[in-house]
Amino acid sequence: MASSVITQSARSSFRWLLASSSRYYSPLLTVSLILPLLVLLAAGFVFPMLRLIDISMPGDAPFSTYLRVFENPLYVEVLLRTFRTAAIVTIACFLIGYPTAYMIAHMRGWSAKLGMACMFVPLWTSILVRSYVWIVLLGRNGIINNSLMELGLISTPLKMLYTEGAVVLAMTHVLMPFMILPIHSALRSVPGTYEQAARNLGAGPIATFWRVTFPLSLPGVFAGCVICFILAIGFYITPALVGGPSALMMATLIGQQTIVLLDWPFAAALSVVLLTATLLLVLIFRRALSFSKGLNSVY
């Protein structure tokens, strides 16, 4: 399923490139220009994916690894937890990131430069460092528990670390820039005259935002949601550091099967299942939001 989707996507992209460039270049020149990119794509993505699918299907029992994934309720639970956590993180990033991007997009002068710096500085910091900070904050002897106990609000430390909530909080913090940047870019591309025209026609601030600004920023919202959702599904470092057995995710499970148990066929099967489910959800998400003409401009 995953290989067919990848092949169809590559064929459609290749036909689109030929059709769009035929107005300016000959077909031979077009093929020669995009050939290095196709070779790089095949060597860096298509071949490893086909190799992964081949590893997941051993010769004696090709589908035994996939049956093992769905026969054990633990693996199905981990898969569902992964998508649930990714969805919660994506929604949290959107609810916090959109107002932040809107505020930065409407800043001027030094405040705009400061806002841009606040967006880019987290990207320059290691994910390992940003994830480890939450251990210092949420631990039993961490800053939050010590502060609450000194204020007399609690008598015993709260269990905040190694929970699903800690994973969601840390992943939201790490992925926030990937939601803010596309939305900020989309908001900056909206001409200010559109909002002025809406205000001149009698629309209030709220109506102007919902009928003009927000619909025109949907390409950035869609791009940010897809980026955050896909990155959250494959997160490994953050769940491994701040999550416990109750917050086990697919990336951590695949890492255990690969490094600890050395069960490469089963780890490959888990990876293929995760990739296929991700592709299906992205296609469904794109189709569900294709009512907006602006969303189609993302592709």
One-letter amino acid for residue 280 of the chain? L
pLDDT digits (tens, 9 = 90+) for 131-165: 888 888 888 888 888 888 888 888 888 888 888 88
Query: How many helices (H) does the chain have, and how many strands (E)?
Result: 17, 0
Tokens of 287: 């189709």
Ranges of residues in the chain whose predicted pLDDT is under 50: 2, 5-6, 293-299
For residue 294, CA distances in Å to 32, 182, 189, 251, 288 come to 32, 14, 12, 33, 13
Q: Which ranges in 214-263 belong to alpha helices (H)?
A: 214-216, 218-233, 237-242, 250-255
Q: pLDDT tens for residues 60-110? A: 777 788 888 888 888 888 888 999 999 999 999 999 999 999 998 888 878
Mean confidence (pLDDT) of the chain: 81
Whether 121 and 228 have beta carbons less than 8 Å apart is answered as no
DSSP codes, 45-67: IIHHHHHHHHHTS-SS-TTHHHH
In sequence order, which residues have a C-beta less than 8 Å from that of residue 290 and are 6 or more positions away?
296
pLDDT of residue 97: 92
> Quick one: pLDDT at residue 299?
37
CB atoms within 10 A of CB 292: 14
- Contacts of 158-162 spanning 24+ positions with Cβ under 8 A: 161/134, 161/135, 161/242, 162/242, 162/243, 162/244, 162/246, 162/247
> Which residues, including other chains, have CB under 8 Å from residue 171's CB and lie 6 or more apart?
85, 89, 232, 235, 238, 239
pLDDT at 298: 41
